[in-house]
Structure 1
């Protein structure tokens, strides 16, 4: 149970990182900064993939 709580916490951090990545990516689009766009997009997808993997591990342990 303790490990599940840690995984849920890290998954929430991953979701927050993906939200921040979305903001940075949109900022890069609006200002025309290509580097900010790519960094934001990487953070967006990295955070979502991390959250998805951690939550899938929790779901598979309970089944």
Structure 2
């Protein structure tokens, strides 16, 4: 418990968010391509893309 609180105080959450935003910017183009593939092929991979899209919407 104490360790997790320390991490949050030291800005662990902020660092995670910045890293997530960087990854989203890089993967935004890849996501679009994946969505096109998703429309063509509906597989288990589709659920992962939906989750990533959902997180992308939340971040923005």
Give the structure-1-normalised TM-score. 0.41
Instruction: Give the number of the structure whose alpha-carbon radius of gyration is greater.
Output: 2
- Greater helix share, 1 or 2? 1
* Higher RCO, 1 vs 2 (CA within 8 Å, ≥6 residues apart): 1
Give the structure-2-normalised TM-score. 0.42
